[in-house]
Amino acid sequence: MSYSKYNATTFNKTKIRTPRDYSPFSGICTVCTSDCTGTCEIGRSAIRGSELLYPTERTTSQTASEKDYPVDFSHFNINGRCFGSLGTSPEKTAYPNVNLATEAGNGANKIKLKSPYLFPAMAKLNWEGYYAGAALSGVIAVIGEDMPSTDPETVLKNGKVVAMPMLKKMYDSFYNFSDGYGALFLQANSDDERMGLLEYAISEIGFEAVELKMGQAAKGIQGTAKLSSLEKALNLQQMGYEVYPDPANQGIQDAYKKGIRLPFYKVGRLPNWEENTFLKRIEALRSKGARFISVKTGPFRPADLAKTLMFASKAGIDLVTVDGSGGGTGNSPIRMMNEWGYPTVYLETVLYQICQKMREKNLYLPTLVMAGGFAFEDQIFKGLALGAPHIKLIGIGRAAMTAAMVGNTIGKLIEKDNIPAALTQYGQSFTEIFCGLPALRARFGDKVGKIQPGAIGLYNFVERLDTGLKQLMALCRKYNLGLITRDDIVPLTEESARITGLKRIMEVDTEEIDQILSCHRDGSLDT
């Protein structure tokens, strides 16, 4: 069988002519006829070329892998208990008493979190709801890379950022609703670093939390964006970005004036860290005022992951986010998103093994965040368990974006008195439809009217995740996050057991069973 998609995808609005009859190996229709108009990826590529490598509506949508990986978190079940309670007293075993609060960071200054979540880098779609929703929920959010090219009002002087109004708005969208929990990080890629983005953000806006990219997360490469005009291409090239083909080439400009308009692409540079330059950069950022520094990496080969963790350990980095294949939010080449890198379960297992070796050597480990396709409370619990005790937070990207986008859309429909029929059962007003509003009104009073509907949508979604996670933890009789262990999940298949090294159901608790069956002389059980 093939785990890959056939020769079509909704990413670029392609489809195959005979979806029931195709070659599993190549993904091409079994019979390819000479009169077909080419609706598949190959056919459309014959017309539009490399455009087909990218989602067609990247500015208004988010994307993820379509590959059905051999092992994912559905291949595990949660290993519940009905005796004993850890982390609480016998009279407080109701699930609301589960404590999800945690901390992230290195040293005395830690980031307090209400829940073990981080919303990974994002700088498009409904970013206001995404960041404000993170603040309302008391968790971490990250502003995505490439901000200088995203904000049309960015001003550079001598190649360095000196003004970026949008970045200040993003900062305020979080901290206007923060109550001391969570933090807003600003991520920088190679181009951002060249423009001095983080120095500007720290000194001029007040950012205390920043993130560096060791490599492009689950996507593998830096972003590639098609540009709408020669003027846009020239502007970005003058800002220092790599633009292909060269818009300054006189021949290309002459052809453009004649109506021969070649497509231009802005292509990001790849980071190229070495230990010495990395350690110096961290030291420089701290000297500028960065209190919290995070590193983002992805499903690269295990040796690169180990090197990243060693760099982070030596530098005393606060957080490291490791992003597995299967997630994703950006405009990655589509086949790459499906076929490149390590899926989350595999990658987290490699990460766990590296962390075990580092712990044996008494090496410092940053707060570790696992990302890559997490959306619901069961997946969050399994992700925390699979990496326990090293994985402290779970990155929730696409699901958090979806909640913010839906909240924003519904908010606009309520304003237009065009409420979807499925929601009228709850009422006709914001307060009736958005169930989290009363709690937010109690916290913010009249200020609640300034909260974007997308933020309320994300806040409601996190409340659902919190409740579900608390229920699962209570079913395992574990009432704080530090009590979750690897044996709280059990693999259902031989392959998932082999990959993770976890015991299958038939092998779990065998020694404990023998002890239970061996009663004391007085007949009582040894519990």
Q: Strands, DSSP E only, in 123-269?
A: 140-143, 155-157, 160-163, 183-188, 209-213, 224-227, 242-244, 264-267
Distance from C-alpha of 68 to C-alpha of 435, rounded to nearest angstrom: 35
Distance from C-alpha of 129 to C-alpha of 131, rounded to nearest angstrom: 6
Query: What six digits make up the tokens of 521?
Result: 């002389």
Stated length of the chain? 527
3-state SS assignment for residue 265: strand
Query: What six digits make up the tokens of 156?
Result: 């550079």
Q: Tell me which DSSP letter residue 249 carries.
A: -
Distance from C-alpha of 258 to C-alpha of 263, rounded to nearest angstrom: 14
Distance from C-alpha of 314 to C-alpha of 279, rounded to nearest angstrom: 8
Distances (CA, A) of 54 to 9, 58, 61, 225, 335: 11, 8, 12, 9, 9
3-state SS assignment for residue 187: strand
Are 15 and 39 spatial neighbours (Cβ–Cβ below 8 Å)? yes
CA nearest to 474, candidates 87, 77, 75: 87
Query: What six digits make up the tokens of 423?
Result: 């929601």
CA nearest to 139, candidates 159, 161, 114: 114
Torsion, Cα of 61, 67, 71, 72 (10° steps): 10
Are 10 and 57 spatial neighbours (Cβ–Cβ below 8 Å)? no
Q: Strands, DSSP E only, in 252-291?
A: 264-267
Are 68 and 25 spatial neighbours (Cβ–Cβ below 8 Å)? no
The label of the residue with tokens 């519904």 reads 410
Q: Residue 219's CB: how many other CB atoms inside 10 A? A: 24
Helices and strands in the chain: count of H runs, count of E runs: 19, 17
Q: Tell me which DSSP letter residue 120 carries.
A: E
State the Cα angle at 318 between 199 and 99, rounded to 5°: 130
β-strands 242-244, 264-267 pairing: antiparallel
Distance from C-alpha of 260 to C-alpha of 371, rounded to nearest angstrom: 44
CATH code at 59-221+268-527: 3.20.20.70
Query: Which residues make beta-bridge pairs with 391?
Result: 368
Q: Tell me which DSSP letter residue 273 carries.
A: -
Distance from C-alpha of 271 to C-alpha of 283, rounded to nearest angstrom: 18
As to burial, measured by CB atoms within 10 angstroms (0-12 exposed, 13-18 middle, 19+ buried), residue 20 is exposed
Query: What six digits make up the tokens of 454?
Result: 């997308």
- Tens-digit pLDDT profile for the chain (527 aa)? 788 888 888 888 899 999 888 898 899 999 999 999 999 999 999 999 988 888 877 677 888 888 899 999 999 999 999 999 999 999 999 999 999 999 999 978 899 999 999 999 987 788 999 999 999 999 999 999 999 998 999 999 999 999 999 999 999 999 999 999 999 999 999 999 999 999 999 999 999 999 999 977 666 676 788 888 999 999 999 999 999 999 999 999 999 889 988 889 999 888 889 999 999 999 999 999 999 999 999 899 999 999 999 999 999 999 999 999 887 766 677 888 888 899 999 999 999 999 999 999 999 999 999 999 999 999 999 999 999 999 999 999 999 999 999 999 999 999 999 999 999 999 999 999 999 999 999 999 989 999 999 999 999 999 999 999 999 999 999 999 999 999 999 999 999 999 999 999 999 999 889 988 987 655 565 54
Distance from C-alpha of 245 to C-alpha of 252, rounded to nearest angstrom: 8
* pTM of the predicted protein model: 0.94
Indicate the residue type of 412: K
Indicate the residue type of 219: K
Location of each CATH 3.20.20.70 domain in the chain: 59-221+268-527
Torsion, Cα of 462, 114, 481, 478 (10° steps): -70
Query: What six digits make up the tokens of 522?
Result: 């007085």
CA 43 to chain centre: 33
